[in-house]
Amino acid sequence: VKCIGILTSGGDAPGMNAAIRAVTRSAIYNGLQVKGIYRGYRGLVTGEIKEFKSQNVSNIIQLGGTILKTARCQEFTTPEGRQIAYDNMKKEGIDALVIIGGDGSLTGARVFAQEFDVPCIGLPGTIDNDLYGTDTTIGYDTALNTILDAVDKIRDTATSHERLFFVEVMGRDAGFLALNGAIASGAEAAIIPEFSTEVDQLEEFIKNGFRKSKNSSIVIVAESELTGGAMHFAERVKNEYPQYDVRVTILGHLQRGGSPTAHDRILASRLGAAAIDAIMEGQRNVMIGIEHDEVVYVPFTKAIKNDKPIKRELVNVLRELSI
């Protein structure tokens, strides 16, 4: 391998820039050429590719978003589109790819690597933390801290008015942000997709968690078709428990922004450097993760579409501490 291409794809996450910087600098340090591919897979298809030197990634470790931009690319999901992507790659002299993205982006990498003889290395970049084989994903810690900040502020007004608030957070069918966000903000409960078929989480909360002696309550709800979202629960409470004064806040895209936390910057830097180590070692078609503070290589097939389990212990901690 002489020249690597790097791209960010799918939903953006704080820390992607730190990862771009790490991959670029580590590649150059190891004598490789680097090319930045813009707008995810779309840039591969349209040929929007530019050589990256060390100074192209100066002063970006602290920035949210991604300087390479990101996009969703329909064309890349077709064999014809991927053939064009491959031809453009060859034209540019790129002989390995580093893909920073979530479940969908790594699925794309897996499909591409099956069709063409191109080493692909994935880095977990998503605020949702829903990739298997890494303790956390790039962006998750920053999003969690953003949620805390917001919930702390909501708590002030919730307490003053003695209201019950449903706060909706992102997560795309994973409850990590909701559950850990609830623990860290001292919320009364979390409603997460993992348990949506198992128990009626609202009933449980009303039964166990919500006490009259508390002058406010905050329930964090993971945005998901499985939970139905915060609005759904607010409507239910209005109908079934009209005595409660209910409000809803949907945090939305502000969870995607902001300067990455120290945790995410260090994670992105380590993963980026490890991606180049992996390429130098001849690894291919793996996601790089960090588990128990050690770098691990996770085959794409294992990292994606694999339900990363939620620890029951966390659910118990939340329940015990919200009495």
Taking the complex as a whole, the smallest distance from the CB of residue 135 to ligand ADP amounts, in Å, to 19
Q: Is 9 a binder of ligand ADP (CB under 6 A)? A: yes
Q: Is 104 a binder of ligand ADP (CB under 6 A)? A: yes
φ, ψ at 274 (rounded to 5°): -65, -30
Is residue 308 exposed (0-12), middle (13-18) or buried (19+ Cβ within 10 Å)? middle
How would you classify the pairing of strands 120-124 and 96-101?
parallel
Residues with Cβ within 8 Å of 82's Cβ and at least 6 positions away in sequence, in order, are 76, 111, 112, 115, 116
- Our answer to whether residue 128 is catalytic in this structure is yes
Residues with Cβ within 8 Å of 116's Cβ and at least 6 positions away in sequence, in order, are 82, 86
How would you classify the pairing of strands 120-124 and 3-8?
unpaired
Q: Is 86 a binder of ligand ADP (CB under 6 A)? A: no
Q: Which is nearer to ligand ADP, 32 or 131 (CB)?
A: 131
Q: Is 15 a binder of ligand ADP (CB under 6 A)? A: no
Bridge partners of 288, per DSSP, are 297
Q: Is 73 a binder of ligand ADP (CB under 6 A)? A: yes
Residue with tokens 């820390």: 15
φ, ψ at 244 (rounded to 5°): -90, 140
φ, ψ at 273 (rounded to 5°): -65, -40
Read off the amino acid at residue 276: I
Q: Is 139 a binder of ligand ADP (CB under 6 A)? A: no
Taking the complex as a whole, the smallest distance from the CB of residue 307 to ligand ADP amounts, in Å, to 15
- State the catalytic residue, choosing from 128, 130, 173, 264: 128
Q: Is 76 a binder of ligand ADP (CB under 6 A)? A: yes
Q: Which of 102, 133, 193, 258 binds ligand ADP (CB under 6 A)?
A: 102
Q: Is 103 a binder of ligand ADP (CB under 6 A)? A: yes
Check: CB of residue 193 under 8 Å from CB of residue 226: yes
Q: Binding marks (x or -) toward ligand ADP, 191..210, rule CB under 6 A?
A: --------------------
Taking the complex as a whole, the smallest distance from the CB of residue 303 to ligand ADP amounts, in Å, to 12
Q: Is 65 a binder of ligand ADP (CB under 6 A)? A: no
Q: Which is nearer to ligand ADP, 141 or 188 (CB)?
A: 141
What amino acid positions are annotated as catalytic residues? 128
Contact positions vs ligand ADP (CB under 6 A): 9-11, 41, 72-73, 76-77, 101-105, 107-108, 111, 126
